[in-house]
Structure 1
Amino acid sequence: MKSAFRKVAVLLVVFVFSSLTGVHMFNLTGRDINKDRYIEVFAEDDIRVTTADLNLRSGPGTQYSVIAVMPKGTSVTVLSVSGSWAKVIYGSKEGYAHTAYMTQVSTQIMVTTANLNMRTGPSTSYSVIRVIPNGAEVKVLSTSNGWARVVYGGSEGYSSLSYLKLKSTLPSTGETIMVTTANLNMRTGPSTSYSVIRVIPLGAEVKVLSSSNGWARVLYGGSEGYSSLSYLRLPVTSTDIRVTTEELNLRSGPSVSYSIIAVMPKGAKVTVLSVSGSWAKVNYQGKIGYAHTGYLVKEGTYASSTVITKGLVNASTKQIALTFDAGWEFETTLPLLDMLDQHGVKATFFLRALWVKDHPDLAKEILKRGHSIQNHSLTHPHMREMTEAEIRKEFTDSTAIFKNVLGITPALFRPPFGEYNDTVLKVAGEQGYKYTVMWSIDTIDWATTYNGVNIDAKYITDKVLDRATDKDIVLMHIAYMKTVDALPRMIQTLKDRGYTFKTVPQMVP
């Protein structure tokens, strides 16, 4: 079976009984957890177990045909995840399954505490494949009802968990930082017979001063004591970077019943520390919490934003889009809107987000009159000169303003000065901007003169009429009365030529 070979942190959920996952509690030597919740371990492969009878489909959606039905409790290898669908290997078959009905388990390394039988199934009634010697390291793929599915010496089978223990990753001496994998008791001495000093919360970093016989002498929050090594791990350095596909809640635990720590904007980057079922434990700007995997995709899953200069939708009549950019000027907004109303034309306005923040009433009036508002950046910078982090902030902050002030999430982006590069397009795509909209006709209405020619209303009108073709996108600005004065003859002549005026969103798929 081909492995995914991704080092990710995963959660092995331990319950007395769970009707959702079907995983039963098992005991490990040296267990000393304040509240049994889960053990966090490391996986080389992304192995998951079905939590119900689950369809294996030929593609990532319910419209695809069913290849096989995987019984509840089946282990599969996950090759990749996109949205709520995973590409998996089941036996010799490769297909797609919904992540909501799979729980992620560990491929942790454990050590035998005696000569241990490997059997063909999870009980003593199954035949013995081989005997694993005392002290041998085995790979544990999954666990259930006190039995582990293991790999050892090229063989795969089942062994009793009673004779397996976690492999310690800590040297016997020397200080190091480790992280708790459950709410963990700190005791006055190295056994459960000693009294509890305090409870160290799940996910806390502790300084380990030394270790012996499965116990660590630790420092946490100004206290010194002893805690079980079974529930301490080295800090995760994860390369599993994902991007939010929608505005997404970061919660204090892995379900909607937990409180919201933060709201992550669409397109935000998070580091995934571990995954259990449909929930991921993530690091978002230094905050550790949980988010639903259905709204997280691998970084790079988004296609870069596509640059367009004309409309893409074919129609039975000729179409043209009038667009107006706004940077700082605003005085001509109402006259411009009145002129468009007089001629029954709906246009597209690419607004600088801080313009929207400074002039919310005007921005709302544009929407009220039926026009489309799209993104023209936050500050109108030269984006090719910016770092990726700076570019991403332009998008996240500007998108937030449009949503907060106007209640909309723009889907189109026009770069300031028409400047962009691969990084701008990549980030725009991650942020949900499918198209980066340029233009096919530039009226140059921002200039007073150009190549010795006066740029007045007649020049603007003639420029459009001389060059107009089907699906054109015309660039103008909110700033100048000459632009407003150019509209009557421009619009009427184009109508006479059989053109229909459309917004840019109406001209793209």
Structure 2
Amino acid sequence: MKPTDRRGALRAGAAAALAGALATACGTEPRPAPVAGHHPASAPASAAGHHPAPAPVAAPAPRRFPGQPDEITHGPRDRPRVALTFHGQGDPALAGRLLAQAEKAGARVTVLAVGGWLDEHPDMARRVLDGGHDLGNHTQHHIDVNAMTEDAALAEIEACAARLRRLTGSVGTWFRPSRTPHAGPAVLRAARRAGYPHVLSYDVDSLDYTSPGAAAVVRNVTGTVRAGSVVSLHFGYPDTAVALPLLLAELDRRGLSAVTTTELLS
């Protein structure tokens, strides 16, 4: 589960994040904008060991997966892969800790970010991408999107998409509806109008948002996970951070690799 090339790619991604002065694994706040006309001092180009900072990772756009339904709950069952998906909001330091844990284990995850969270912690968008993970849309305000009209749901989706586009150049790879595991017909139509060919659901719920304890989070996942599963997890709960290394170790023992949702379906 931990091939050398994957570890190398993850290290390179982490280096890009540091070199670009973005959020680190501990979830630091964004740096203040530079004062007009001010240019930080830098070492001469000829200085030993000086290299230009690498360009940030490009943010992929949504794509259609032929043969997959409008709402995806799992991937192929004949390959030893699973997708760990995180609802993206909460303490950015805890989010950074979870990303770092995944990267240390050679895993990649999918983060569905709430637009309001990105407004408060904009560096987290690049932190996710520079770690080699998927980044997607989880509405702007994280309210019950199924209870809205189609136009209101579209406004929620497009508001978050606008944040993602501003921060990364793309509306994100996936859309997941808020406050519900499944999208109603109006939300499916709104998602397509916003540019998301598929809505991402899941077939394994960790129930970590109920704060059941780390051991229960691990049991909730490992009791039903299998090849192709999409697992629902959350950034904002300490139990999840304690559980994740144990969960990744158990998936590894079972021969299951944790990959992005895009990789799961490719």
Q: How many angstroms does 1:329 deviate by? A: 3.9
Going by fraction, where is strand more abundant, 1 or 2? 1
**What is the match of residue 464 of structure 1?**
221
Equivalent of 2:189, from 405, 426, 446?
426
Equivalent of 1:441, from 188, 204, 208?
204
Q: How many angstroms does 1:471 deviate by? A: 0.4
The alignment status of 1:347 with 2:109, answered yes or no, reads yes
Closer, same or farther in 2 for the Cα pair 1:314/1:461, shift >3 Å? closer
User: In structure 2, the residue corresponding to 1:332 is in which secondary structure?
Assistant: helix
Q: How many angstroms does 1:456 deviate by? A: 0.6
* Aligned partners of 1:441 and 1:472 also within 8 Å: yes
The alignment status of 1:338 with 2:100, answered yes or no, reads yes
User: In structure 2, the residue corresponding to 1:404 is in which secondary structure?
Assistant: helix
CA-to-partner distance for each residue in 1:136-180, whole Å, 9 max, x for gaps?
xxxxxxxxxxxxxxxxxxxxxxxxxxxxxxxxxxxxxxxxxxxxx
CA distance in 1, matches of 2:83, 2:173: 16
**What is the match of residue 393 of structure 1?**
155
User: In structure 1, the residue corresponding to 2:247 is in which secondary structure?
Assistant: helix
* Aligned partners of 1:323 and 1:350 also within 8 Å: yes
User: Which letter does structure 2 place at the counterpart of 1:391?
Assistant: A
User: In structure 1, the residue corresponding to 2:86 is in which secondary structure?
Assistant: strand
Equivalent of 1:476, from 233, 251, 265?
233
Unaligned runs of 5+ residues in structure 1 are 1-304, 449-454
After TM superposition, list the pairs within 5 Å mapping 1:240-389 onto structure 2: 306-311=70-75, 313=76, 317-389=79-151
CA-to-partner distance for each residue in 1:36-59, whole Å, 9 max, x for gaps?
xxxxxxxxxxxxxxxxxxxxxxxx
Q: How many angstroms does 1:478 deviate by? A: 0.5
* Aligned partners of 1:321 and 1:471 also within 8 Å: yes
Closer, same or farther in 2 for the Cα pair 1:459/1:314, shift >3 Å? closer
Question: Which ranges of 4 or more aligned residues in structure 1 deviate by more than 3 Å?
Answer: none
Q: How many angstroms does 1:473 deviate by? A: 0.7
Unaligned runs of 5+ residues in structure 2 are 1-68
* Aligned partners of 2:154 and 2:193 also within 8 Å: no
CA distance in 1, matches of 2:116, 2:135: 14
Bigger Cα Rg: 1
* Aligned partners of 1:351 and 1:375 also within 8 Å: yes
Normalising by structure 1, report the TM-score. 0.37
* Aligned partners of 2:183 and 2:199 also within 8 Å: no
CA distance in 2, matches of 1:347, 1:499: 13
User: Which letter does structure 2 place at the counterpart of 1:478?
Assistant: F
* Aligned partners of 1:388 and 1:427 also within 8 Å: yes
User: Which letter does structure 2 place at the counterpart of 1:306?
Assistant: D
* Aligned partners of 1:309 and 1:438 also within 8 Å: yes
Q: How many angstroms does 1:335 deviate by? A: 1.1
- Aligned CA RMSD, in angstroms, stands at 1.9
User: Which letter does structure 2 place at the counterpart of 1:325?
Assistant: H
Count, aligned residues: 198
CA-to-partner distance for each residue in 1:324-348, whole Å, 9 max, x for gaps?
1023443301211221121111000
CA distance in 1, matches of 2:265, 2:186: 23
* Aligned partners of 2:150 and 2:189 also within 8 Å: no
Q: How many angstroms does 1:370 deviate by? A: 0.9
CA-to-partner distance for each residue in 1:70-92, whole Å, 9 max, x for gaps?
xxxxxxxxxxxxxxxxxxxxxxx
CA-to-partner distance for each residue in 1:14-48, whole Å, 9 max, x for gaps?
xxxxxxxxxxxxxxxxxxxxxxxxxxxxxxxxxxx
User: Which letter does structure 2 place at the counterpart of 1:384?
Assistant: N
User: In structure 2, the residue corresponding to 1:373 is in which secondary structure?
Assistant: strand
CA distance in 2, matches of 1:411, 1:320: 17
Q: How many angstroms does 1:314 deviate by? A: 6.1
User: Which letter does structure 1 place at the counterpart of 2:74?
Assistant: K
Normalising by structure 2, report the TM-score. 0.70
**What is the match of residue 164 of structure 2?**
402
* Aligned partners of 1:411 and 1:434 also within 8 Å: no
CA-to-partner distance for each residue in 1:239-278, whole Å, 9 max, x for gaps?
xxxxxxxxxxxxxxxxxxxxxxxxxxxxxxxxxxxxxxxx
**What is the match of residue 504 of structure 1?**
261
* Aligned partners of 2:77 and 2:227 also within 8 Å: no
CA distance in 2, matches of 1:327, 1:501: 21
* Aligned partners of 1:331 and 1:479 also within 8 Å: no
Higher relative contact order (CA 8 A, sep 6+): 2
* Aligned partners of 1:327 and 1:380 also within 8 Å: no
CA distance in 2, matches of 1:488, 1:341: 11
CA distance in 2, matches of 1:505, 1:488: 22
Closer, same or farther in 2 for the Cα pair 1:314/1:443, shift >3 Å? closer
* Aligned partners of 2:113 and 2:136 also within 8 Å: yes
**What is the match of residue 246 of structure 2?**
489
CA distance in 2, matches of 1:398, 1:368: 20
CA-to-partner distance for each residue in 1:106-160, whole Å, 9 max, x for gaps?
xxxxxxxxxxxxxxxxxxxxxxxxxxxxxxxxxxxxxxxxxxxxxxxxxxxxxxx
User: In structure 2, the residue corresponding to 1:423 is in which secondary structure?
Assistant: helix
* Aligned partners of 2:139 and 2:177 also within 8 Å: yes
CA distance in 2, matches of 1:478, 1:324: 6
Q: How many angstroms does 1:420 deviate by? A: 2.6
User: Which letter does structure 2 place at the counterpart of 1:492?
Assistant: A
